[in-house]
Amino acid sequence: MNTKLIKTAALFLSLTPASLVAQNSPTEIIIDQPKKEISIQPNMYGIFFEDINFAADGGLYAEMVKNRSFEFVNSPLMGWTTYGQVTAVDNGSCFERNPHFVRLTNTGLRSGVGLLNEGFRGIGVEKGKTYRLSVYARSTNSTPTILKATIISSTGFNIANQEIKVENTNWTKYEVVITANETDFKAKLRIDLATAGTCDLEHISLFPTDTWMGHENGLRKDLAQALADLKPGVFRFPGGCIIEGNTLETRYQWKNSVGPVENRPINENRWNYTFQHRFAPDYFQTYGLGFFEFFQLCEEIGADPLPVISCGFACQFESKVKQPIDQLDCYIQDALDLIEFANGPATSTWGKVRTEMGHPKPFNLKMLSIGNEQWGEEFPLYLEKFIQAIRPKYPEIKLVGTAGPYPDGKDFDYLWKEMTRLKADLVDEHYYRSPEWFLSNANRYDNYDRKGPKVFAGEYACHDGDSKKNSFYSALCEAAFLTGIERNADIVHLATYAPLFAHVDAWQWKPDMIWYDNLRSVRSANWYVQQLYSLYKGTNVLSATANGKIISGENGLFASAVSDKNTQQVIVKIANTSNQKRTVSIDLKKMGALKGKNIKHIEYTGENGAENTLDNPTLVVPTTKSSPLNPTKIELELPAFSFHVLITE
Ligand code: AHR
């Protein structure tokens, strides 16, 4: 056992019995200015997006048709049921990077010619809402053909339909808006060739007209709103292992994700075959939610974009394949070009692409992450090549390296040393760990080396038992752990929970912050902890001590405090992770004159196993009360298993 593990185990043993022992007298928490001023990064708490669990296609990206371009590798008709004379043709489409299309022939002798799309585990439509159906089509001779588009309910009824007259023999985009007259979570889209003749179809797409910010190639409004409501400071995208790919060919290549959406080539999703128990052979990436949409969303929700790019390693959990180090140029060029796409003038090659997509102004990219969870002796040599190319050209861009997939161990120690040698600005640490780990690691950063790179807690989540539920207890342990992150905001500069999204019928990985089906979404217990930290992050760290010591586990209590120089507020966070109620008194005397006369108290508690679900989305949510402020002593009784945020106002 290494020394770190022994320390962790010892701390855990010292925490557990204490949490079972009744507390005799209130814990007196003194809030004071710290010895050294520590400011908190304004973008400290954020989100991490990866297309896992149908997070993009079938999730945030509002497209409702699966395999809209007939490009699923080796299965151009996957997701479609055809009837009558329908064939997939593999070249001659109007989109060179998506060459397949379908040819429908109606001889006039039989009426049923067409195809039916199953959507992403169904198509969700709501009564009275409108949907934009578009299709590229051509008739093969000058007699126009008629297409009939129908949304069919899960019980087999026609709940919306429209006709499209295909008059041209050249590929032409046709668009109609249809209104659903019923609500259905698992409807299907049917396209019939209703008249005799031959008609070719390509890129059949269906979107709600009511998307986030009304964008046509848009995002699901409820899901984007759940991100906006977190007020995220930073937005890491697009992964995760997905940036590495199962092979180098299937890595995320950002250049494929920009330009006209119809011509973005499809990619196999990294998460399609990974878990035998969650097999998803129909999981592909359309890149419809690509880098332009990502930057745009960041701008709209006020988050700093943090792209992650491949460093030339395929996902090391799946493969040993790497790009030879002397042939890294195109990977490095991709990194440089991405910066130009985000920030370059409209006259630059990639700035022009951005401008043509509708955003002449730069997106103000400030950070770039190179590699995801890489490990081994070679990774630093690869990273070095990127740093040598990017630094001289873009010295203002912060570069993020990695400490690998685990929060400790030989690889972790080696990588940290190497990241320091390479002068990475931040090091991305990942921890998917048990409740015990989260509690015993709340003091993880108290003695971290302050001389090297800063920490980016880029992926973390408390995994509560085998069920890996988004239980209230997992959220509470994260809240307790985050007191340590907050206290150490001088070294921890960014933190993002992971993963972000999951479709209830198509997930691969649990827990996840936001769950949804085709119409509804639910914010997990963990979402609320993220929101509380983000909304009440403050601007400066204060000291919060009991008996002169930081509060990190004794009697099951964890606490931290911050001030907000903009609002003149003091904010105290306390988690009671014990199974006993605890009393605390908070002394704000040393804080001088406080703005306001009240204290807002947000209390967050629930059954340990409680989980917000689509049917019961608000089972565990914080509650707020306000009471007059007595700065000398705020007495509080903290129920067993509860989290509290106190804000002077
Ligand atoms: O978040 C899910 C996966 O966990 C990420 O893709 C990867 O970085 C980590 O192993």
Tens digit of each residue's pLDDT (9 = 90 or more) over 359-370:
999 999 999 999
Pairing of strands 367-370, 398-402: parallel
| Run of H or E including 541 | strand 540-546
* pLDDT > 70? residue 277: yes
Q: Give distance in angstroms: CA of 241 to centre of ligand 1.
A: 6
Retrieve residue 147's tokens: 């297409």
Answer for the pair 310, 252: CB distance below 8 angstroms, yes or no: yes
Task: Please state, rounded to an integer, the average pLDDT across all residues of the chain.
Answer: 94
Report which protein residue has its CA nearest ligand 1's atom 5.
240
372 lines ligand 1 (CB under 6 A): yes
Q: Give distance in angstroms: CA of 312 to centre of ligand 1.
A: 17
Q: Is position 637 annotated as part of the catalytic site? A: no
What are the phi and psi torsion angles at 445 (to 5°)?
-95, 0
Best probe residue, ligand 1, of 251, 252, 430 (max atoms within 8 Å of C-beta) = 430
C-alpha 251/C-alpha 318 separation (Å) is 12
Average pLDDT score over residue span 19-32? 74
Cβ atoms within 10 Å of 352's Cβ, excluding its own: 16
Q: Which of 63, 244, 293, 373 is labelled catalytic?
A: 373
3-class DSSP assignment, residue 12: helix
pLDDT digits (tens, 9 = 90+) for 181-215: 999 999 999 999 999 999 999 999 999 999 999 99
CA neighbours within 13 Å on the CB side: how many for 71?
24
Q: Is the pTM of this model over 0.85?
A: yes
C-alpha 195/C-alpha 216 separation (Å) is 30
404 lines ligand 1 (CB under 6 A): no
Retrieve residue 441's tokens: 């690691």
Query: Which atom of ligand 1 is found nearest the CA of 509?
Result: 2
511 lines ligand 1 (CB under 6 A): no
C-alpha 622/C-alpha 631 separation (Å) is 24
Q: Give distance in angstroms: CA of 143 to centre of ligand 1.
A: 53
498 lines ligand 1 (CB under 6 A): yes
Average pLDDT score over residue span 153-157? 97
| pLDDT, position 111 | 72
52 lines ligand 1 (CB under 6 A): yes
Indicate the pLDDT class of residue 595, thresholds 50, 70 and 90: low
C-alpha 66/C-alpha 503 separation (Å) is 15
C-alpha 426/C-alpha 442 separation (Å) is 20
| pLDDT, position 13 | 38
Query: Which atom of ligand 1 is found nearest the CA of 242?
Result: 6
* pLDDT > 60? residue 11: no
Burial of 355 (0-12, 13-18, 19+ CB in 10 A): middle
Answer for the pair 605, 581: CB distance below 8 angstroms, yes or no: no
* pLDDT > 50? residue 21: no
23 lines ligand 1 (CB under 6 A): no
Residues 6+ apart with CB under 8 A from 61: 219, 220, 286, 288, 289, 293
